[in-house]
């Protein structure tokens, strides 16, 4: 009897357990109505602007225009500063003492090393191009940090002719000063007051514009009167960029040819570069000095320098003539300093 009761108890427990399992496997009923919306969370931090800011400059229209202007410039020409001469790879760009300013590879190497020359000749130099002067932006927060135009350098520039002297225009024009400066300094007399000219290339080289703007590095006589260095308005209120990269075809000009519009930002009534006939005056003084140098035997009839030993002041006058000639602005870069150098040089032959 007890066994029968135990049997039925076990059967009952089993049936109950199976019922629980069956109930547990039954699907839930339909979803109830949605509850009330929760409270809004805190806004996240704004993300950085995307590539739309880059497209202001890096777009097909701008790049096509800039490239066309650059190819028409002296910098961008395949002969790279020597019209009618062999390609840069056959001359200046390959030479270790010229490559700094006449090849892409030379400029990059000397910017990295801080030297004036490359370690060796450049076997296969290439022309100066966009990424010679431009690299990567230091910051993309132009609103806070300013637009750096991704220039490779804009720091003050030590002069090739005097490492203790620097040029600092305080802006991106410093990039230009790396190459637009003299390679050879003014005449220094020997113990007898003479100077030996050993090459028909005697002079500052082809690009003394930065020092002319700054009002330094001409041959200054003891009796000449010269303006204080760095006081020219074009050094204090102007810049290479302001005058040579005025907007042209809706971009900052990359042919670097100034226009009257470059000047009228300050000289509002100007209609010609020959402001009040000043360039005409400087050209006349240059012609007069050339005649004096020719009569003194320093220049031949074609204007080529004649090697030899001369009184130091005569050689200094020739240096000034070459400096102003190679500056190519007829005094615009620094009117007072240009005129002072010519006046002092002409006085030597009076």
Of the two residues 125 and 282, the one the predictor is more confident about is: 282
Q: Who wins on pLDDT, 51 or 167?
A: 167
Q: What percent of the chain has pLDDT over 90?
A: 69
pLDDT in tens, 317-330: 999 999 999 999 99
The confidence score (pLDDT) of residue 264 equals: 93
Q: Is the pLDDT of residue 240 over 80?
A: yes
What one-character DSSP code corresponds to residue 51?
T
Q: How much of the chain exceeds pLDDT 70, in percent?
A: 86
Euclidean distance between the first and the last CA atom of the chain, given in angstroms as a whole number: 153
What is the mean predicted confidence (pLDDT) over 230-244? 94
Please report the pLDDT score of residue 10 as a whole number. Answer: 60
Please report, to the nearest 10 degrees, the dihedral formed by the alpha carbons of residues 253, 254, 257, 263 taken in order.
30
Domain assignments of the chain as residue spans, ordered by start: 70-152, 182-350
Residue 252 CB neighbours (<10 A): 15
| pLDDT at 84 (0 to 100) | 46
**Per-residue pLDDT at 24 exceeds 70:** no
Residue 340: the pLDDT is: 99
- Digit-coded pLDDT (tens) for 52-106: 678 888 899 999 999 999 988 888 875 554 544 455 546 788 899 999 998 999 9
Give the model confidence (pLDDT) of 267-316 as tens digits.
999 999 999 999 999 999 999 999 999 999 999 999 999 999 999 999 99
pLDDT of residue 13: 65
Kindly report, residue by residue over 170-224, the tens digit of the pLDDT.
999 999 999 999 999 999 999 999 999 999 999 999 999 999 999 999 999 999 9
pLDDT of residue 198: 98
d(CA 83, CA 73): 11
How long, in residues, is the chain? 350
Is residue 282 within 8 A of residue 331, CB to CB? The reply is: yes
Mean confidence (pLDDT) of the chain: 88
Q: Give Cβ neighbours of residue 127 (< 8 Å, ≥ 6 apart).
A: 76, 78, 80, 88, 93, 103, 104
């Amino acid at each position: 009897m007890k066994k029968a009761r135990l049997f039925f108890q076990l059967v009952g427990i089993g049936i109950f357990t199976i019922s629980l399992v069956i109930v547990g496997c039954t699907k839930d009923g339909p979803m109830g109505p949605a509850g009330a919306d929760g409270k809004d969370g805190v806004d996240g931090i704004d993300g950085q602007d995307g590539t739309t800011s880059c497209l202001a400059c890096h777009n097909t229209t701008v790049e096509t225009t800039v490239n066309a202007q650059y190819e028409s410039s002296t910098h961008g020409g395949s002969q790279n500063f020597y019209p009618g001469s062999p390609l840069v790879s056959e001359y200046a760009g390959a030479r270790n003492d010229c490559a700094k300013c006449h090849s892409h590879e030379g400029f990059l190497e000397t910017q990295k090393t801080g030297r004036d020359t490359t370690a060796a000749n450049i076997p296969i130099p290439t022309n100066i191009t966009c990424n010679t002067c431009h690299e990567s932006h230091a910051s993309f927060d132009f609103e806070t940090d300013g637009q750096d135009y991704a220039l490779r350098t804009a720091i003050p520039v030590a002069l090739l002719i005097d490492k203790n002297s620097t040029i600092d225009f305080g802006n991106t024009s410093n990039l230009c000063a790396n190459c637009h400066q003299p390679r050879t300094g003014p005449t220094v007399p020997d113990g007898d007051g003479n100077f030996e000219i050993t090459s028909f290339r005697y002079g500052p080289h082809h690009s003394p514009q930065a020092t002319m703007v700054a009002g330094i590095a001409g041959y200054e006589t003891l009796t000449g009167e010269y303006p204080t260095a760095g006081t020219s308005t074009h050094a204090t209120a102007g810049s290479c960029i302001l005058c040579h990269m005025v907007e042209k075809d809706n971009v900052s000009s990359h042919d670097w040819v100034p226009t009257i519009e470059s000047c009228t930002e300050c000289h509002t009534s100007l209609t010609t570069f020959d402001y009040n006939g000043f360039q005409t005056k400087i050209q006349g003084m240059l012609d007069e000095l050339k005649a004096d140098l020719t009569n003194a035997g320093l220049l031949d009839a074609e204007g080529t320098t004649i090697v030899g030993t001369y009184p130091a002041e005569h050689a200094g006058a020739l240096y000034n003539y070459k400096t102003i000639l190679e500056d190519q602005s007829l005094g615009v870069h620094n009117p007072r300093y240009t005129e002072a150098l010519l006046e002092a040089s002409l006085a030597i032959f009076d």
